[in-house]
Amino acid sequence: MENGTNKPKTFKPLEIGQILTNKRGEEYRIVSRYNDTTYYLVEYLETGNLQYINGRQPPLAIDKSKPFLHGVGYFKCEGEPLFYFESRVKTFYQVWTNMIVRCYKKDDSKQLSPWRDVEVCKEWHNFTNFYKWAITQSFVQNQRWMLDKDLFSPESGKIYSPETCCFLPNQINAQLSGLTYQDINNPESSERMKQLAEYTSTLLIKYESKLSERVVKKLWGICNACGIDREKAHLMARNSQMADQLLKMEDEIKHLRKFKAETEQKDIDGKYLQEQLPLMPTHGFVQHQGKIYRIDTAKDLYNMLMMVKNDMLAAPRPQNVKPKS
């Protein structure tokens, strides 16, 4: 810290009206500052494009209204510019970037890329158009969902577009990954699709209420073609849930048996068990001598038993009762 290497860099605010040049030689003018932050609205003199930039890195503030991402992707707004540093916009921006990179990144390796035949529609070359579509999808509610193009792409080739894309839960998207047009649209003749249909149907039961109508219709069509209807899917889902519960119970039983064995080894004078009793959950109510006591832990139950024992010892003994020999 003494040499100053770890000191945070100070931010020098840019001046309104100031003209700067970025690393590509593009000149831009500072129009305004965004909410007293390090971000600024700028106007590029050549194109007239309005865009927000990070004022901490003026040389990197390139004009994104020109193709800047693998010669294809650009970012141009008509009217009010989009503040893409905001968290939700930034999330969609990353999804869009990954889509463009997958389809148009040049690979020098000799291996053929699985994305070589996949395209992005021209409308989505502009991030603004992709963003306007994306915010209407279910992905807005769950940012972990994946952008899928396989479910609705035509036979002529897979393409990213408003007509062919949707956001799906990761588990469903993984089931569709790598499937061909014939697999999806003729599932009864695809052995792989038949194998995936059972699991896909149980996932559909789980996520159906959150998916769009056209996605639900398409997925149920695939399942039905493989001989799985809603009733069978519900039954498999319940069986799967019960199997998970049984596995969980078996794990709990193993844990309790291990705990019992460890306790028997350590609990010579009863102190260890007394320390563990408050940690052992149990719930219920006990009535004793006209009063109701709530039992929340094993410690409460232990105290309740001691109370009953003491009451029994303090109670008067009946007359003329012979003790057991």
For residue 78, how far is the Cα from the chain centroid? 32
Residue-averaged pLDDT of the chain = 81
Q: Does pLDDT of 278 surpass 90?
A: no
| Residues 78, 72, 70, 129, Cα dihedral to 10° | 40
Taking only the tens place, the pLDDT of each residue in 2-42 is 455 555 567 789 999 999 999 999 999 999 999 989 999 99
Spell out the SS3 assignment of 169-207.
CHHHHHHHCCCCHHHHHCHHHCHHHHHHHHHHHHHHHHH
The whole model's pTM is what?
Answer: 0.67
Q: Does pLDDT of 260 surpass 80?
A: no
Instruction: Assign 87 a pLDDT band (cuts: 50, 70, 90).
Output: confident
Q: In Å, how far are 39, 78, 80, 100, 219 from 126, measured between CA atoms? A: 22, 11, 15, 10, 30
Q: Does pLDDT of 282 surpass 70?
A: no
Q: Of 84-88, 277-281, 282-286, where does mean pLDDT reach its minimum?
A: 277-281
Instruction: Assign 230 a pLDDT band (cuts: 50, 70, 90).
Output: confident
Q: Does pLDDT of 321 surpass 60?
A: no
Q: Does pLDDT of 1 surpass 50?
A: no
pLDDT value of residue 21? 95
Residue indicated by tokens 């038949």: 194
pLDDT value of residue 245? 65
Mean pLDDT of 237-252: 66
Per the model's pLDDT, the better-predicted residue between 295 and 39 turns out to be 39
Per the model's pLDDT, the better-predicted residue between 171 and 261 turns out to be 171
Q: What is the DSSP letter of 318?
A: P
Packing angle, helices 191-207 and 230-266, rounded to 10: 70
Closest residue by Cα to residue 30 from 8, 69, 61: 61
Q: What is the DSSP letter of 112?
A: P
Instruction: Assign 110 a pLDDT band (cuts: 50, 70, 90).
Output: very low
Q: Which residues, listed in sequence order, are joined to residue 293 by a DSSP beta bridge?
A: 286
Q: How many CA atoms lie within 13 A of 193 on its CB side?
A: 24
CA distance linking residue 33 with residue 12, whole number of Å: 13
Residue indicated by tokens 């799985």: 228
